[in-house]
Structure 1
């Protein structure tokens, strides 16, 4: 299945690779199952990773479909080798051949709880980004009238911004932005409390936060991204999952090792970097991990 937000294209092939059916349907688990039932039992159904993949995969699994989610990057390269140009029918046909041959890399489908934690962390990041944009907007507007709020986001900065409300021609704009900023800060604090409650209730997060320098956000994001620790057989596999292993290239006599691959969850990778920086520069005590 080549999934999209509204309409998806399904291609069904038999054991010899002959096309049995190809049809556009609504991107809902019930519509997909109804189509599959009309063509008899399926050995497996393959879909790529994407925005609506978790919802579709969970719905099909609950309806008894043997669903396999594969890495979209690997599927893209395989289908590109099979087809000269990209269309939705070609993508669906290519995925069907991958399902038949088994030439794919299955990815782990995270639980709804993990997706919920990740959505909260992502939403908080967007709120913080919006607050930073407002702070920069204050600096830009005030500079035109000779007012310099300065760096930071503390009380001194806010006091100078409030003082700008009395400036004719500037006050209304600053007051409106300041009201919006107050609402953003309240929402950020509320999300901080909710994420903290999740971390306190999670044994995995408690274990991670026992490391000096590891906070609530990093532990919650890491635990949600891992979801099931048993799927990583070796520590190297987990490092590669978050793109923290060097990129390698070997061809004949050429053999070099480059920078990290930066594959996988960029949010977790950023938080892990910030935690490592905190351990090295802000934590005073000495322990094995820091050494």
Structure 2
């Protein structure tokens, strides 16, 4: 194919319709508004056939913004043999003086920017990976709903000046104490019972999702990576599954600094001339993966140690993975104490530890390859 045998097609996707524009790969070519089509799969297939019949010698390159509609258009077009790119809305160049935004303009802009190579495609997960990610996010939502229900119940007790004398909230003893409470008004008693009922339902829901996630991840193609990164301190099954589900194959990054920047754990910088200004972290990329790393980084405030639980997680792993995890624990525990002695804020220290954690996780993932053995998976060393 020569340079002029490419047709760039911009899609502005919505729930009910898709706005379409295209531009030929020729010098001086102008973007053309094709029109609006339905967002049904049959309409997308018909659109691709129309462009193929009109430009039989051209390769079709589609592009659209990532959004709530997911990746089904990408998977449909690639299954038909066409090139398709999904771009993040935050990475699309925008002129400061352009104050008019319409669906037609968005489609034209996407087509022109794809032609000039000013768009950066994002990583699109496989359907299996997205399914595990949805299950992991459902578990996180269940945890948030349970916390919200507990806060609402505690607020009711606080308004009535009822305090628990024990030390462990939400233990079996605490739950029994809650069931024995009698509030002064019958309406309040009904509210208390409904809150308790909601909490019990959400606890059961969380347990179901935990069991299902632990079961489904064992048949996942990234289970060897999930199992390997659990050799790290502060990275148990739920954290490891959520992290890998959000990031996908983290070995696609050729350097750990790129992965640090991808999860938004690198500092902002605004430097010019002789002045170099470093600010807070960028918080770009996947916020859920960043939060999971921050959660795991808190465990490094204690001295380096191989606990019984960590030893069980490391059983059956290659020696190189276990050695790398121990090296990470020694370094991160020392770094945590050193930064705290320097007087750094606790949140700054934890963020610094999380930034280095993702580098060690990247190093461990590089030592793991995925081998399909009838649909099962196992660990293996990367050949030197």
Indicate the residue corresponding to 1:234 in structure 2.
255
2:133 counterpart (118, 127, 140): 118
- Give the Cα–Cα distance (whole angstroms) in 2 for the partners of residues 167 and 57 of structure 1: 59
- Give the Cα–Cα distance (whole angstroms) in 2 for the partners of residues 282 and 174 of structure 1: 43
2:34 counterpart (6, 13, 22): 22
Aligned residues: 289
Give the stretch that moved more between structures: 120-129 or 10-19: 10-19
Question: What SS class does the counterpart of residue 259 from structure 1 fall into?
Answer: strand
Indicate the residue corresponding to 1:99 in structure 2.
114
Pairwise CA RMSD: 2.3
Query: So what's the TM-score if we normalise by structure 1?
Result: 0.89
Match runs of 1:221-260 below 5 Å: 221-260=242-281
2:283 counterpart (251, 255, 262): 262
2:225 counterpart (189, 204, 228): 204
Q: CA deviation at 1:167?
A: 5.1
Contact 1:9 1:24 in 2 (8 A): yes
1:178 counterpart (188, 191, 196): 196
Question: What SS class does the counterpart of residue 181 from structure 2 fall into?
Answer: helix
Indicate the residue corresponding to 2:13 in structure 1.
3
Contact 2:63 2:84 in 1 (8 A): yes
Give the stretch that moved more between structures: 102-111 or 191-200: 191-200
Residue 140 to residue 238, structure 1, CA distance change in 2 (3 Å): same
Question: What SS class does the counterpart of residue 277 from structure 2 fall into?
Answer: strand
Contact 2:230 2:237 in 1 (8 A): yes
Match runs of 1:30-179 below 5 Å: 30-39=42-51, 40-41=54-55, 42-75=59-92, 78-80=93-95, 83-149=98-164, 152-164=169-181, 168-169=185-186, 170-179=188-197
- Give the Cα–Cα distance (whole angstroms) in 2 for the partners of residues 127 and 112 of structure 1: 23
